[in-house]
Structure 1
Amino acid sequence: MTPDAEVLFGFNPVLAVLSDPARPVESLWIVTGPHGNRMREVERLASERGIRPKFVERVVVDRLAGGATHQGVALRVGARVQPTWDDLLARLDGVVDPVLLLLDGIEDPRNLGAIIRSAEAFGVEAVILPRDRSAPLSGVAVKASAGAAERVDVIRVTNLARAMRELKAYGVRVIGLDGDAGTMLAGESWHGAVALVLGGEGRGLRRLTREHCDTVVAIPMVGGVGSLNVATAAGIALYEVRRRRAGESARDG
């Protein structure tokens, strides 16, 4: 096993990797037994790349996936090379009105994966999170992303507050999401380059992170539910950003 190799599992992550010729695959395991169309697609892509699957008992893939749901397939792949923070800053000038997503201490890999899935669905340029006190981009996170983690840039920074200051110097408006904010999500303008900041599970935005936001907005809620899961909140917020931008473009046109 080469350094930094990782095990991914589940149809969407495995199909995403096999569809990317730049990702070197070390091993592919398939549970022995009758297979449906999606598994046959895995086998077809593997064959096209000259990869010979290892057909094994389910207990083998159970162990590789650490007990997580794996849908009968797993592979070992070299770690994806992510852009650096400097790479992202260098390309911002070439991107029209980018949307960035900053995560302040997301610790559950399933939440991280679900957020990355929404990030791809709504056209986020990159997901940025601190190196410490953040969930790893593990097989669990990649599976929860439904393969989106293979296509969305996930950039780790040493200091999130410093990254927010640098983004503002590049003309990016930094907008936090917090249930206690007085301004509602729909009341904010989302034109231009923006970075949406979400806090970690339970605690929300940390004080220092909130202080570095240009403004903070909330999702309007009714009923007895006091808060939303952070991944759910991310999906709602990113949809609203995309919806508002589409409306502004239609008016400008």
Structure 2
Amino acid sequence: MSGDFWRLIESSQNAHAKRWNDLHDSRGIKKHGEFLLAGRKAVPEALRLHPDRFQAVLVCEPKDVSELELPAGIDRFRLTRSLFDKLDISGTNFPLLVGKAPALARADLAAAPQGLELICALGDPSNLGALFRSAAAFGARRIVLMEEAAHPFHPKTLRAAANAQFELELMRGPSWAEIGNAAGPLVALDGGGEDISQFHWPKNLRLILGEEGLGVPAGLKAQRLAIPTTGAVESLNATVAASLALYAHYLSAR
């Protein structure tokens, strides 16, 4: 199935429809090795810059792709309105892309870091996506996702990342128990740490981001940095704090 041929799917019991519906959560993405990309800006941009990442396009009407640059050989599916709306959980009313979710290689944390590497345990998909966007903006190309982290191709992650996930090297990391053995320098964001504005950033380091609310374990052997604030709020959002740290490192390297 390729070219201009459109396959019509009308039943929610169709094998394709059932598989795509599974892609709304991490379990389904892991099971099928696929993800759904949505967005009036994200879809055209992803097709233009990363066409090899996608294997199918889903629409209600073939005319919906009139302004898209579809790669040769991509599978084309026409869905009934009810089926499409069930998959279009963000309500974009715009073609959806089915992508191949890559199997992430395991990071070798015994090797020295190359540039700024992020070790991340953020469990909220939206926070993780926003972090991807900041990481790409400030040149942190490698993200090591700990076991506690959200799935990098969860729909909420993709929506917040705005295609930044395609610009990053994503790798699998260990649990907290193994992080202390990673080659350094190791730096962790912690409200009780040293003032980040006084820190002299090395070119190569690993920046550790803990889980939302929990932070990093007390026994983790890493230099801890805090972002000074007025104290009007108890703490910063994890992604906001990480973005400020990424910017600080970016400025130091210029």
CA RMSD in angstroms, aligned pairs only: 2.8
Against the structure 1 CA distance between its residues 34 and 89, is the aligned structure 2 distance closer, same or farther, given a 3 Å change threshold?
Answer: farther
Against the structure 1 CA distance between its residues 83 and 71, is the aligned structure 2 distance closer, same or farther, given a 3 Å change threshold?
Answer: farther
Against the structure 1 CA distance between its residues 72 and 160, is the aligned structure 2 distance closer, same or farther, given a 3 Å change threshold?
Answer: same
Is contact 2:57-2:77 (8 Å) kept?
A: yes
- Aligned partner letter, 2:59: I
Q: Deviation digits for residues 157-197 of structure 1, max 9, x if unmatched? A: 2334424423x2xxx3111111122x111111112311111
Against the structure 1 CA distance between its residues 224 and 146, is the aligned structure 2 distance closer, same or farther, given a 3 Å change threshold?
Answer: same
Shift of 1:69: 4.6
Give the distance between the partners of 2:150 and 2:93, measured in 1 at CA: 23
Higher helix share: 1
Give the distance between the partners of 1:69 and 1:238, measured in 2 at CA: 32
Candidates 231, 234, 242, aligned match of 1:234: 242
- Aligned partner letter, 1:109: P
Aligned to 2:105: 83
Give the distance between the partners of 1:164 and 1:59, measured in 2 at CA: 50
Is contact 1:113-1:142 (8 Å) kept?
A: yes
Is contact 2:110-2:181 (8 Å) kept?
A: no
Q: Does 1:61 align with 2:72?
A: no
Give the unaligned 5+ runs of structure 2: 1-15, 20-31
Shift of 1:31: 5.0
Against the structure 1 CA distance between its residues 161 and 12, is the aligned structure 2 distance closer, same or farther, given a 3 Å change threshold?
Answer: farther
Aligned to 1:74: 96
Is contact 1:12-1:147 (8 Å) kept?
A: no
Aligned to 1:29: 58
Aligned to 2:196: 185
Shift of 1:146: 0.4
Identical counterparts, % of pairs: 27
Q: Does 1:173 align with 2:190?
A: no
Name the TM-score, length of structure 1 as normaliser. Answer: 0.76
Is contact 2:105-2:172 (8 Å) kept?
A: no
Q: Does 1:141 align with 2:170?
A: no
Is contact 1:82-1:153 (8 Å) kept?
A: no
Name the TM-score, length of structure 2 as normaliser. Answer: 0.75
Q: How many residues align?
A: 223
Give the unaligned 5+ runs of structure 1: 247-253
Give the distance between the partners of 1:156 and 1:12, measured in 2 at CA: 28
Against the structure 1 CA distance between its residues 51 and 236, is the aligned structure 2 distance closer, same or farther, given a 3 Å change threshold?
Answer: same
Shift of 1:129: 2.2
